Structure 1
């Protein structure tokens, strides 16, 4: 007699887990995403709370990466590390002081004329736009105009970060900290990096070494290339403004150089400002020629200068740049907009060497398409 034995069972019994089906996989991935978002939010919150420390360290890292070839050249000629760090640091201070003095000298005395001519030029554009069909009403145009002019021509555009005693104190503290950290990065950068690599072993160590080397090379190439592109843009547009006899050509050229460090947005703002000044001073035809000069220089920059000076590997998609600019501006204002793009370039550079010198992370590899 058979006592309740089920002979239909032919193998081990499979128990399905609630996490093994499609819905369980979705729940697992959702939890992982939530944890990553919380961790990223905590990191961003911590960085914003410690802005006085984080921003100087980032700037020091960027400057150290930018002048790494000079430091290496001095060390290869048996210059002591401390002396080479002092030489490079003094060179950076002199260079930044010269650029700052040029900006202040060129813009300070003529800023009122520049802003008033920009306002008059925008008023003329508004008057001309009224003759076009399907245009917004006057109140909407004036509202847009006031917002644009508040951003472009107000004193806060250049000096709002220094308003108030507290902000000035934070600026001085951050500047001193940046100089000190930059000195040690220039003097003991390789030793500091080897110390930070001690917890890593095996493949993790090799991956961290690739990420560090890529960070230094990307930041250095980006800043040096951007400075070269900004200088060429300023010289090219400045020569065009001088030939066209547009007033305030030197301040406009200096603004082109400064704003070129904010990709896409900076060149657009500088071109609009130059065109508005030309419209007031020399008329519509001259302003259109200025717009043509700005477009020509920007095309030369995008198609020739950036690939040559910065390398195609550092070129980010325009959508990525706009998103990085937006996030950086929301988090840290103008300084965040300047730092967002090089940091995004570093992140993408690390992804491209994640699994090897020329092997991106698995999820970032392009799919192979079949040949038909």
Structure 2
């Protein structure tokens, strides 16, 4: 009897020694929650000035492989970072020099052909609408010109108000220019010190979570890298497809419309809808009948099938598991919560969440609850 009581006492003592202090654990959890809440509040409060830094960090992340490749080939790291930034600026400048004149030409031709378009709509569309739907649209050029003259004074007043507002918002314009100039500077220092910054962050990770944190960070990096590389390939291939397809269809503005559609494909469905609308307007203004409009619709229908069935699943989807619907939801949700700053962090946050869910799934499938059920 005494031996049993002694054994029970020893077991209870051992359990007491092995059990962590619950109050200490709760205090640590509260401290971590408070720290996380403070970080979120700080991010929200500083989001207007953090945007250029975050955008520079994203661009530095994208440009780091090229910088590392140059550094491994005996190019000094600062010079490699500078070359990558100059290459990015050069590519954007070349794109702007290619697209802007073409778009200006398209806008000029639209303005030039607008009266003839109104006449065509008056002779073809207006009678059909009156006969079928009983709708009478004032599409004749005289009515249109009268409407323009009637609202010309109001338009001038609105323009004057806009110019006055811009003049009074000079500080905002200065801030925008400053952020634009700050972007390559921050990107340069991030690219130059990328490896040392990562080592410093790694050194701050608690030793108990060091291996797990590194493994999760590598998985997040792999997801982001695969997604960005896949999306870039999809954008370039679709830009080539739409430009070539619209050119073969006979569209005058095939190159700018095709390039713009391909580059905007990164925004799901928005790029397709924008490009289709521009292409249809351009086709209508060429006055080649419904054949050109039908050809444009076929090109865009084929492009949508090519993207959804072949390119995105092959280059992006199955390799990372980040569904396009998840991308749309993340962009909308983070944009609604944090504005443009939220759009910038939507993709990294989604990748981290995906990796976290995969880790939870691994733990769940290895748990006794799952295995014994």
Distance change >3 Å, CA 294–CA 350, structure 1 → 2: same
CA 1:280/1:102 → structure 2, altered by over 3 Å: closer, same or farther? closer
Partner of 2:332: 326
Q: Which consecutive unaligned segments of at least 5 residues does structure 1 have?
A: 1-31, 140-162
Q: What is the aligned partner in structure 2 of residue 87 from structure 1?
A: 83
> Does the 8 A contact of 1:230 with 1:258 survive in 2?
yes
Task: Kindly name which structure, 1 or 2, has the bigger radius of gyration based on alpha carbons.
Answer: 2
Go from structure 1 to structure 2 and tell me whether the alpha carbon gap of 1:128 and 1:213 turns closer, same or farther (over 3 Å shift). Answer: farther
8 Å Cα contact 2:47/2:341 also seen in 1: no
Cα distance in 1, alignment partners of residues 177 and 257 from structure 2: 28
Return the match for 2:178 from 173, 180, 189: 173
Is 1:197 aligned to 2:202, yes or no? yes
Which deviates the most, 252-261 or 230-239?
Answer: 252-261
Going from structure 1 to structure 2, the CA distance change for 1:193 and 1:353 (only over 3 Å counts) comes to: farther
Cα distance between partner residues in 2 of 1:341 and 1:273: 28
Greater per-residue helix proportion: 2
Q: Equivalent residue for 2:61?
A: 65
1:74-127, Cα deviation, whole Å (9 max, x unpaired)? 232233222222222222222222223323233234235459989x79x89x97
Equivalent residue pairs, number? 303
Who is 2:154 aligned against?
none
2:157 aligns with none
Q: 1:329 deviation in Å?
A: 4.3
Q: Does 2:290 correspond to 1:284? A: yes
Is the contact between residue 52 and residue 170 of structure 1 (CA under 8 Å) also seen in structure 2? no
SS in structure 2 of the partner of residue 95 of structure 1: helix
Q: Is the 8 A contact 1:117 1:276 kept in 2?
A: no
TM (norm. structure 2) is 0.65
Question: Where do residues 1-372 of structure 1 align in structure 2 (5 Å cutoff)?
Answer: 46-111=42-107, 113=109, 165-281=170-286, 282-310=288-316, 312-330=318-336, 339=344, 342-351=347-356, 354=359, 362=364
SS in 1 for 2:322: coil
**CA RMSD across the alignment:** 4.4
| Whole-Å separation in 2 of the counterparts to 1:288 and 1:332 | 41
Aligned partners of 1:279 and 1:287 also within 8 Å: yes
Change (3 A) 1:116 1:262: farther
**Structure 2 vs 1, CA of residues 165 and 310 (structure 1 numbering), >3 Å: closer, same or farther?**
farther
Q: Distance in 1 between matches of 2:107 and 2:219?
A: 41
Rounded to whole Å, the distance in 1 between the matches of 2:362 and 2:111 is 48
Q: Distance in 2 between matches of 1:226 and 1:77?
A: 28
Partner of 1:146: none
Deviates more, 1:323-332 or 1:238-247: 323-332
Cα separation, partners in 2 of 1:349 and 1:169, compared to 1, 3 Å: farther
The answer as to whether partners of 1:106 and 1:251 remain within 8 angstroms in 2 is yes
Structure 1 residues 334 and 184: alpha-carbon distance in aligned structure 2, compared to 1, 3 A threshold: closer
Is the CA contact (8 Å cut-off) linking 1:52 and 1:174 kept in structure 2?
no
The Cα offsets for residues 287-329 of structure 1, whole Å up to 9 and x where unpaired, read as: 2321221121222223332344336233533432332232344
Structure 2 residue matching 1:261: 3-state secondary structure: coil
